[in-house]
Structure 1
Amino acid sequence: MSSQFLVVGAGLAGASTAWRLAERGFSVTLVERDVPASEHGSSHGSARIFRYAYPERVYVDLVAATEPGWAELSALHGSDLVRRCGALDFGAQRDPHGLAAVLTDAGVEHELLPRDQARDRWPHIAFDTDVLLHRAGGVLDAESTVTTMVAAARARGAEVLTGWPLQRLERTGSGSASGFTAHAADGRTVSAERVVVAAGGFLPDLLTDLALPAGFLGAFPPLEVKEENAFHFPYRDDAPAQDWPTLIHKRDDICVYALPGGRDAQFHGQKVAEYDAGRVIRSAAERTGRIDPANRGRVVEHVRRFLPGLVPEPYAETTCLFTNTPTEDFVVDEADGVTVVSPCSGHGAKFAPVLGEVAADVALGTGSVPDRFRVGGRVGSSRA
């Protein structure tokens, strides 16, 4: 089997890339070690935060650029993939006033609410600072987004191979006849002219087997994979489910996010987690599924203090994967025919429709990508 592009990984980034490349008329083979949106990766489930609030304009603008894609995907899916329930940001370290200034500069509609006014509007949340609200925020369905993009890629002629774990890439030929042979762990092979790798938490194990130049590998930012913990808390009877926005609450001692849990929470609870506080593992292959009792204790105490509209006893809990760069920036860069796509650090899901566009442009040498996503251009810290 041979194609113009091989895309490795059928999570949000890989599925988007396969869809956009196939849409541009290229022959595409998409391989996935398990199934699209697998529970063993980072793109499963129905609940991810969609938000505009970032401390840096580059990400706010990138969110805005996703809106046509979300509309397109929702039309293909047959219903909205993003539910606009609004998003709240508060806490001394979250800096709602600073975030509001960035949204003002970007032209994103929002409100800054004094703490007491916010408490009157949402009595089931115990705010400790002024609060930023932007109504375009909400919850996106990651799994349905992936399946919709994979179906769209197939409709454009893409071949999708599941149960296909990449082991290594081999460069073949030379000059205009050069390309790649991808080897699966069981000996199967796929050939392609160019390759895009979007392997999520499995990327640390793969990087040195992708036939990448030594200079590129030497400049690649270190990747840290964490097994995060997430908990579902039931709504109290006097806190109606339809009145819960998403929220990010950052204090000196902890950063917690919460959102309506959707299918993940059987539609009767909030998904609550401590941001970027999980156990460090070498790669996704080391994921255990074990909950950290200390993490659970911190989240339960935070719910008890600041989310009085929830019963502070989780009825379900799970682990998920974050693949982090030191700056929390993404990696989208190409070297000698191999493009690496890693929308890192737990905040990439909302960018799904545009990630494929950016990856396709990088792989083809067209368009542009922020320098901070390039391997040689790491700057600053997004601190999502």
Structure 2
Amino acid sequence: MPVHVAVVGAGLMGSATALALARLGAAVTLYEAREFGHAAGSSHGSARIFRRAYRDPLYVRMTGEAAELWRSLESASGTPLLKVTGGLDYGSVRDPVGIAAALAGQGVAHTLLTADEAAKRWPGFAFDGPVLFHPEAGVVDADRAVRAMIAAAVTAGARAVARTPVVRIDRRGAGARVHLAGGATRVADVVVVAAGPWLPDLLGDVVALPPLRVTQQQVFHFPRRDPAADWPVFVYKGPDAQVYGLPGGRDGGPGGAVKLAEHDGGHVTTADARDFAIDPASRERLRALLATRFPGLEPAPFAPASCLYTSTANEDFLIDRVGPIVVCSPCSGHGAKFAPLIGEIAATLALGGRTYDPRFTLRAHAVTSMIG
């Protein structure tokens, strides 16, 4: 008989895991507490950054594997999911020279430009140091990706159940028992918990988790002064700010607004205590930044939105198995681009395979927490 796996959470990571498991022949049930594609977690919206630019060779390598899987999913689903725009990385804290060295070490195409060279190509930006350009960066459509992965998982034999909250998970013999709202229970050989910010509440009494920090982040959309101007995805980290931006997709409206946000501007919360309120101080900090860093954008932000980060102490992913339970993610605000790969990693663990990298294990995170 096939291995029965329950996957809890139908965001990017959970839907990718369900798809990978179904394709491997497992009997899969995917549980989602809300409607599929809801906006209460970390997987909604039409625009998430895909980039190869990491100083860490592990993540550079993973971005290449993820890109292949995104293209495979696009081909199988007939749905465009990854739009290539190119990407910029700059700012003294960002260290574009160091990132360039990491990309060179992995054979990833890139170019280091002077500030003047970059300004001629992208006049909507203001640069004051070296700028790294890598052409493989782009935008992932998270909403469409979730829908495509769930549909493909169901086609491959998975069962997908929306509006069915899982309230508790415990062990039952060699397997596990899933407790649903309303009192019903289900038994599975393995449970993969890919519940994002809800993961600590579901597993805190079952698995010895490392410290996980849940923050509510906000994004804003800024109109382009020149609607025809080229805006790649970008990450700027300098002494004045740490921000990222990208073409805003459908969320930015028909005018092609740029989605802009502070990577470090969120406040600590929990999955159920978040207030969805938009921080006016963050809005004003970004507006003020336009004059010195992004003169090609109009200082009239609109369509604000929020999402949740669930972060480990060192921002490495947490993907490991303890008995019949697989802990999938937390992705520390940079996991969306890796979704189909993380799904394959979690599926491998669920079916008895080895971990992808020791850094993603509970043990590694426990050591990091002790050192920290």
Give TM-score scaled by structure 2 length: 0.95
Shift of 1:367: 4.2
SS in 2 for 1:333: strand
State which of 179, 182, 187 in structure 2 corresponds to 1:186.
182
State which of 208, 220, 233 in structure 2 corresponds to 1:231.
220
Identity fraction in percent: 46
Match of 2:74 in 1: 74
Shift of 1:77: 3.0
SS in 2 for 1:372: helix
Amino acid at match of 2:276: G
Q: Is the 1:3–1:29 contact (alpha carbons within 8 Å) kept by the matching residues of 2? A: no
Shift of 1:380: 7.3
Residue 105 (structure 2) pairs with residue 105 (structure 1): yes
Greater mean deviation of Cα atoms: 289-298 or 90-99: 289-298
Match of 1:171 in 2: 171
Greater mean deviation of Cα atoms: 296-305 or 329-338: 296-305
Match of 1:145 in 2: 145
Q: Is the 2:312–2:330 contact (alpha carbons within 8 Å) kept by the matching residues of 1? A: no
Match of 1:31 in 2: 31
SS in 1 for 2:272: helix
Match of 2:272 in 1: 285
Amino acid at match of 1:305: T
Query: What is the rounded CA distance, in whole Å, between the counterparts of 1:4 and 1:14 in structure 2?
Result: 15
Query: What is the rounded CA distance, in whole Å, between the counterparts of 1:127 and 1:77 in structure 2?
Result: 40
State which of 249, 272, 276 in structure 2 corresponds to 1:262.
249
Shift of 1:240: 1.7
Residue 352 (structure 2) pairs with residue 365 (structure 1): yes
Greater mean deviation of Cα atoms: 142-151 or 364-373: 364-373
Query: What is the rounded CA distance, in whole Å, between the counterparts of 1:293 and 1:264 in structure 2?
Result: 20
Match of 1:344 in 2: 331
Query: What is the rounded CA distance, in whole Å, between the counterparts of 2:143 and 2:233 in structure 1?
Result: 19
Shift of 1:185: 2.2
C-alpha offsets along residues 69-89 of structure 1, whole Å, 9 cap, x if unaligned? 111111133242111000000
SS in 2 for 1:97: helix
SS in 1 for 2:65: helix
C-alpha offsets along residues 135-168 of structure 1, whole Å, 9 cap, x if unaligned? 1001000111111111111011111111111111
SS in 1 for 2:189: strand
Query: What is the rounded CA distance, in whole Å, between the counterparts of 1:47 and 1:228 in structure 2?
Result: 15
Residue 268 (structure 2) pairs with residue 272 (structure 1): no
Query: What is the rounded CA distance, in whole Å, between the counterparts of 2:227 and 2:154 in structure 1?
Result: 43
Query: What aligned pairs does 1:280-359 form with structure 2 within 5 A after superposition?
Result: 280-281=268-269, 283-359=270-346
Shift of 1:319: 1.2
C-alpha offsets along residues 256-287 of structure 1, whole Å, 9 cap, x if unaligned? 10100001111420000000211110x21112
Shift of 1:239: 4.8
Match of 2:59 in 1: 59
Shift of 1:48: 0.3
Give TM-score scaled by structure 1 length: 0.92
Match of 1:245 in 2: 232
Q: Is the 1:124–1:239 contact (alpha carbons within 8 Å) kept by the matching residues of 2? A: no
Match of 1:200 in 2: 196
SS in 2 for 1:377: helix
Q: Is the 2:176–2:325 contact (alpha carbons within 8 Å) kept by the matching residues of 1? A: no
Q: Is the 2:50–2:139 contact (alpha carbons within 8 Å) kept by the matching residues of 1? A: yes
Q: Is the 1:196–1:341 contact (alpha carbons within 8 Å) kept by the matching residues of 2? A: yes
Residue 55 (structure 2) pairs with residue 46 (structure 1): no
SS in 1 for 2:204: helix
Q: Is the 1:276–1:322 contact (alpha carbons within 8 Å) kept by the matching residues of 2? A: no
Query: What is the rounded CA distance, in whole Å, between the counterparts of 1:290 and 1:202 in structure 2?
Result: 19
Shift of 1:229: 1.1
Query: What is the rounded CA distance, in whole Å, between the counterparts of 2:188 and 2:300 in structure 1?
Result: 51
Q: List structure 1 runs of 4+ shifted beyond 3 angstroms.
A: 378-381
C-alpha offsets along residues 208-263 of structure 1, whole Å, 9 cap, x if unaligned? 24x33xxxx0xx32111111010000111x3525x110110001232010100001
Query: What is the rounded CA distance, in whole Å, between the counterparts of 1:279 and 1:251 in structure 2?
Result: 21
Query: What is the rounded CA distance, in whole Å, between the counterparts of 1:143 and 1:118 in structure 2?
Result: 32
Provide the aligned C-alpha RMSD in A.
Answer: 1.6
Query: What is the rounded CA distance, in whole Å, between the counterparts of 1:279 and 1:372 in structure 2?
Result: 27
SS in 1 for 2:75: helix
Amino acid at match of 1:342: S
Residue 338 (structure 2) pairs with residue 377 (structure 1): no
Q: Is the 2:5–2:350 contact (alpha carbons within 8 Å) kept by the matching residues of 1? A: no
Q: Is the 1:12–1:37 contact (alpha carbons within 8 Å) kept by the matching residues of 2? A: no
Query: What is the rounded CA distance, in whole Å, between the counterparts of 2:35 and 2:333 in structure 1?
Result: 21
Query: What is the rounded CA distance, in whole Å, between the counterparts of 1:366 and 1:350 in structure 2?
Result: 23
Q: Is the 2:18–2:153 contact (alpha carbons within 8 Å) kept by the matching residues of 1? A: yes
Q: Is the 1:239–1:309 contact (alpha carbons within 8 Å) kept by the matching residues of 2? A: no
Q: Is the 2:311–2:330 contact (alpha carbons within 8 Å) kept by the matching residues of 1? A: no
Q: Is the 1:42–1:321 contact (alpha carbons within 8 Å) kept by the matching residues of 2? A: yes
SS in 2 for 1:357: helix
